[in-house]
């Protein structure tokens, strides 16, 4: 699948791209660069080449489609149990900024049952217009009816940009909606900018477990859709005096044709909810067993935080999977992350290295976790953690 | 019961090191592995087969060497595997990938359950599973942590699963056929024995190209059919600065220094 092409006259065989390729698809044989079929057209090599000898094919065939009828920025307001999720308002802040840049309106889509208050809040947080789909069949999130309502609205009102939260529901919903609409969807964005020349949305997201940042555009399909990572963007201020239009839409739901039923919901992450947590006290192999986590729970309790864990601790059965931070667990972005007895494998770092302040406590002063930490103590966590708990308790009273 | 598992070969990020000077990835000689979440999907398929009988087909799209990932799934116990490989598929984003996999699944015929991992560890999008379901017009249940019940009768049957959401666990019921994406705590994937691996190596794995996929619209395949384009790739900015190491001779002193420093950050 060699896609990247090499200009043999320009290439000097320096090999810079060989190291840059995330897939090992570029090979130098006798100073001649070959692209193997591992190439996925990711583009990582293009900018690395000092001589611009690499290129991707221009696949744009025919005249550019007329996209001018697609206007405005939309945000899906996720709600659960009658309350809007904070990610929704964070996106309203971004949506407002993008809409102003495009000199267009910001629209919020509020789906649920008895969601009048949330619709009003959407105006407070910056919406010029709210589509409110209020229906008993939408009370609890289900992919098919939610996607049907949004797809119908997009087809009728043609937004240019559509943002959804990168929560589990948001990713589930966005994947369905974008597929149905045949448009581009960029997952888990941490940066959204309007390109000043083309007016396109430049969507930046981490990939490879956070080891690289990719910037992605959607040039010929609309709307340009993104899911947006939680706790990356500031919450905008709510202004109860703001004016906005709330439009009721009648969802056409035929329960007989919706196959899926929600039978039960067990709220269990009130203690764990890592993605929302402002403080996380996390433990790894250095804790030596499940008892070590009791000590962390106490510290987390004093700090108003929650307990996380490395994969090693989860795999050892010391703590359930829902606490796992890292590539195969949760990606977290707390204000304070205290890593206790965690060595700091790349996969763990990928899940927490965007925390505001990272504290590492580990016996081994050479542990990689200290490489990303702001504060470190190379010592015995069984002495330091209880001392921290006692002192924070005294100071935070 | 006819079960299809979609898997992806990904670079083994455990082998990836970051060049401390340039901050770029050092991937030379990094082996390809089966995306870890997909191994849970394969295991779940095998468990379903053990319970209900039937056939497990594993599908992947990728370059020729992705056949290695299929062999691993065959060694675990899958009955057959198909590789989708063609220059025309190259450069597919999640939309085009879902489109192509859905065409291949149609070619495989009627199915009861499609299983996918919740996301691949290289792209981390989690979009291909729901995309396949929309293409095939079947319900998708994502982030499944347990299959509570499958009732094949009366046909087409129903399924009840538990899935993980941000605030807790939800129990869902839907009709078959269905697509499920699974999370890590659904099971513990079995290890293939040497005999299994030898058997898998001998199994024939057909390669399907675009020409094998009936009704494939060439304008919807590969880079051409992909709505998104990657325009730049860079290393994330480092966290900057170096770690402030607090002397640890006495635990309570170290703790008190740390407490002061954290309080001074004004984040609590």
> pLDDT tens digits, residue range B99-156?
999 999 999 999 999 999 999 988 889 999 999 999 999 999 999 999 999 999 898 9
Mean pLDDT within B12-29: 58
Residues A224, A125 share a domain: yes
* Residues B208-222 pLDDT 10s: 999 999 999 999 999
Q: Can you tell me the mean pLDDT for A362-386?
A: 95
Among B160, B144, B171, which Cα is nearest to A265's? B171
**Is there a domain that residue A263 lies in?**
no
Q: Is A43 on the interface with B (CB under 8 A)?
A: yes
Q: Please check whether residues A6 and A29 belong to one and the same domain.
A: yes
Instruction: Choose among B24, B141, B224: nearest Cβ to A59.
Output: B224
- Kind and range of the H or E run holding A389: helix A381-395
CA distance A300 to A323: 13
Among residues A197, A76, A189, the alpha carbon closest in space to that of A138 is found at: A76
The lowest-confidence range among A4-8, A206-210, A312-316, B228-232 is A206-210
Taking an 8 Å cut-off on Cβ atoms, the answer to whether A24 and B65 are in contact is: no
Question: Does residue A261 sit within a domain?
Answer: no
Same domain? A117 vs A227: yes
pTM: 0.86
Predicted pLDDT of residue A330: 83
Whether A208 and A338 map to the same domain: the answer is: no
Q: Are strands A129-134 and B25-26 parallel, antiparallel or unpaired?
A: unpaired
Q: Is there a contact between A253 and A247 (Cβ–Cβ < 8 Å)? A: no
What is the span of the domain harbouring residue A42?
A: 1-58
Encode pLDDT of A26-45 as tens digits.
888 888 888 887 777 777 78
- Using CA atoms in the order A391, A392, A393, A394, what is the torsion angle rounded to 10 degrees? 50
Q: Which residues 93-112 in chain A show a CB within 8 A of chain B? A: none
Interface membership of B261 toward A (CB under 8 Å): yes
The answer to whether residue A389 sits within a structural domain is: yes
Share of chain B above pLDDT 70, in %: 92
One domain, residues A300 and A217: no
Residues A105, A207 within the same domain: yes
Do A311 and A350 fall within a single domain?
yes
Let me know whether A91 and A123 are in one domain.
yes
Nearest to A266, CA basis, from B128, B163, B227 = B163
State the angle between helix axes of A86-101 and A116-124 in degrees (0 to 180), rounded to the nearest 10: 50
Rounded to a whole number, what is the distance in Å from the CA of B174 to chain A's nearest CA? 4
Q: What is the DSSP letter of B78?
A: -
- Domain count of the fold of chain A: 3
Homologous superfamily (CATH) of B2-225 is: HUPs (3.40.50.620)
Say whether both A43 and A113 belong to one domain.
no
Residue of B nearest to A300 (CA): B268
Verify that A134 and A205 share a domain, yes or no: yes
pLDDT band, very low/low/confident/very high, at A1 (cuts 50, 70, 90):
very low
Which residues of chain B have a CB within 8 Å of the CB of A43?
230-233
Q: Is A200 on the interface with B (CB under 8 A)?
A: no
In 3D, which of A199, A189, A140, A145 has the Cα closest to residue A165?
Answer: A189
Task: Tell whether the torsion through CA atoms of B233, B236, B237 and B242 is positive or negative.
Answer: negative
CB within 8 Å: B126 and A275: no
Token representation of residue A109: 């889509």
According to the model, what pLDDT value does residue A50 have? 82
Q: What confidence score (pLDDT) does residue B4 get?
A: 98
Classify residue A330 by its DSSP letter: B
Q: Is the pLDDT of residue B27 over 60?
A: no
Percent of chain A with pLDDT strictly greater than 70: 96
- Domain assignment present for A259: no
B230 vs A144, A216, A273: nearest CB:
A216
Contact present, A278 and A336 (Cβ < 8 Å): yes
Q: How, if at all, do strands B2-7 and B55-61 pair? A: parallel
pLDDT of B232 reads 81
Range with top average pLDDT, A61-75, B8-22, B122-136: B122-136
User: What is the pLDDT at residue B22?
Assistant: 52
Per-residue pLDDT for A306 more than 80? Answer: yes
- Whether A66 is in a domain gets the answer no
Same domain, yes or no: A27 and A118:
no
**What does the block give as tokens for A282?**
């996390």
Closest in B65, B164, B251 to A383, CB measured = B251
Give the nearest partner residue to B245 out of A44, A220, A376, using CB atoms: A376
What does the pLDDT average to over B7-13? 86
Tell me whether residue B158 is exposed, middle or buried, using C-beta atoms within 10 angstroms of its C-beta: 0 to 12, 13 to 18, 19 or more: middle
Any chain A CB within 8 A of the CB of B108? no
Domain check: are A80 and A15 in the same one?
no
Question: Closest residue of B to A385, CA-based?
Answer: B255
CA B251/CA B177 separation, integer angstroms: 59
Residues on chain A touching B256 (C-beta within 8 angstroms): 387, 391
């Amino acid at each position: 699948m060699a896609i990247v092409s090499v200009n043999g006259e320009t290439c000097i065989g320096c090999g810079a791209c060989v190291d840059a390729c995330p897939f090992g698809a570029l090979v130098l044989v006798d100073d001649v660069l070959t692209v193997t079929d591992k190439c996925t057209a990711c583009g990582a090599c293009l900018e690395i080449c000092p001589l611009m000898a690499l290129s991707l094919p221009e696949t744009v065939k025919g005249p550019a489609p007329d996209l001018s009828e697609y206007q405005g920025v939309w945000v899906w307001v996720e709600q659960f149990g009658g309350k809007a999720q904070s990610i929704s308002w964070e996106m309203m802040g971004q949506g407002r900024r993008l809409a102003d840049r495009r000199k267009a309106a910001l629209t919020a889509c509020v789906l649920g049952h008895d969601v009048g208050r949330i619709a009003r809040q959407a105006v407070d947080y910056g919406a010029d217009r709210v589509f409110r789909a209020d229906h008993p069949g939408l009370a609890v999130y289900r992919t098919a009816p939610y996607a049907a309502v949004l797809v119908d609205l997009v087809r009728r009102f043609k937004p240019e940009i559509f943002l959804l939260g990168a929560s589990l529901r948001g990713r589930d919903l966005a994947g369905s909606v974008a597929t149905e609409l045949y448009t581009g969807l960029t997952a888990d964005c941490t940066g959204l900018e309007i390109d000043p020349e083309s007016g396109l949305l430049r969507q930046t997201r981490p990939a490879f477990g956070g080891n690289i940042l990719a910037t992605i555009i959607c040039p010929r399909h609309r709307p340009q859709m993104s899911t947006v990572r939680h706790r990356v963007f500031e919450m905008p201020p709510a202004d109860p005096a703001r004016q906005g239009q709330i439009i009721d839409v009648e969802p056409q739901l035929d329960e007989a044709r919706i196959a899926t039923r929600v039978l039960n919901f067990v709220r269990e992450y009130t203690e764990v909810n890592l993605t929302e947590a402002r403080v996380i006290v996390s433990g790894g192999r250095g804790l030596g067993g499940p008892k070590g986590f009791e000590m962390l729970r106490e510290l987390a309790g004093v700090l108003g935080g929650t307990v996380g864990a490395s994969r090693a601790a989860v795999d050892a059965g010391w703590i359930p999977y829902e606490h796992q931070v890292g590539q195969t667990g949760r990606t977290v972005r707390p204000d304070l992350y205290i890593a206790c007895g965690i060595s700091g494998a790349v996969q763990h770092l990928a899940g927490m290295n965007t925390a505001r302040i990272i504290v590492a406590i580990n016996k081994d002063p050479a542990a990689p976790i200290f490489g990303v930490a702001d504060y470190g103590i190379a010592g015995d966590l069984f002495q330091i953690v209880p001392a921290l708990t006692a002192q924070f308790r005294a100071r935070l009273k | 019961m006819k079960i299809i598992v979609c898997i992806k070969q990904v670079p083994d990020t455990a082998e990836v090191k970051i060049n401390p000077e340039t901050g770029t990835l050092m991937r030379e000689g990094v082996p390809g592995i089966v995306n870890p979440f997909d191994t849970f999907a394969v295991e779940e398929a095998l468990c379903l087969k053990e319970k209900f009988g039937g056939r497990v087909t594993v599908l992947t799209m990728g370059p020729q060497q992705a056949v290695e990932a299929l062999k691993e799934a065959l060694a675990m116990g899958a009955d057959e595997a198909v590789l989708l490989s063609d220059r025309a598929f190259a450069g597919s984003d999640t939309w085009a990938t879902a489109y192509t996999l859905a065409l291949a699944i149609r070619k495989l015929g009627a199915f009861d359950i499609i299983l996918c991992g919740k996301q691949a560890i290289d792209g981390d999008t989690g979009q291909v599973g729901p995309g396949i379901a929309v293409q095939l017009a079947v319900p998708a249940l994502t982030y499944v942590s347990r299959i509570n019940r499958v009732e094949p009768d009366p046909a087409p049957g129903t399924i009840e699963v538990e899935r993980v959401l941000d605030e807790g666990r939800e129990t869902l019921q839907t009709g078959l056929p269905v697509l499920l994406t699974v999370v890590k705590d659904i099971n513990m994937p079995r290890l293939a024995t040497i005999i299994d691996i030898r058997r898998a190596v001998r199994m024939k794995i057909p390669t399907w190209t675009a020409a094998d996929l009936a009704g494939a619209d060439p304008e919807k395949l590969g880079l051409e059919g992909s709505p998104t384009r990657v325009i730049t790739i860079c290393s994330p900015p480092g966290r900057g600065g170096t770690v402030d190491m607090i002397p640890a001779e006495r635990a309570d002193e170290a703790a008190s220094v740390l407490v002061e420093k954290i309080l001074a950050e004004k984040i609590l």
